[in-house]
Amino acid sequence: MPEKTDWEARVANMLKAELKRKGVTYAGLVDKLAEIGVEEKEVNVRNKLARGKFSAAFMVACLEAIGCQTLRFQE
């Protein structure tokens, strides 16, 4: 299996940080995604974030689902 690139790790960490800031678990994210019409399983979400391999559309759907209006690129 190919290793995560720096970019993949960076975007995965950005999404994980926003989930943490909002207090949303992976299970909670799955529920929130379902509310906006995006069907995912918790295990698939966990794997996508662990691998850092997911589409921009998935990331935007996640951010929309958790009510994130701004994204922090640097701390």
* pTM (two decimals): 0.88
**pLDDT for residue 2:** 59
Q: Which runs of consecutive H residues, i.e. helices, occur in 1-75?
A: 6-22, 26-35, 42-51, 56-65
**pLDDT for residue 1:** 52
Q: Which residues of the chain have pLDDT under 70?
A: 1-3, 75
The answer to whether 74 and 47 have CB atoms below 8 angstroms apart is no
* Cα radius of gyration rounded to whole Å, the chain: 12
Q: Which of 33, 25, 22 is nearest to 68 (CA)?
A: 22
Query: What are the structural domain ranges in the chain?
Result: 6-65
3 state SS of 36: coil
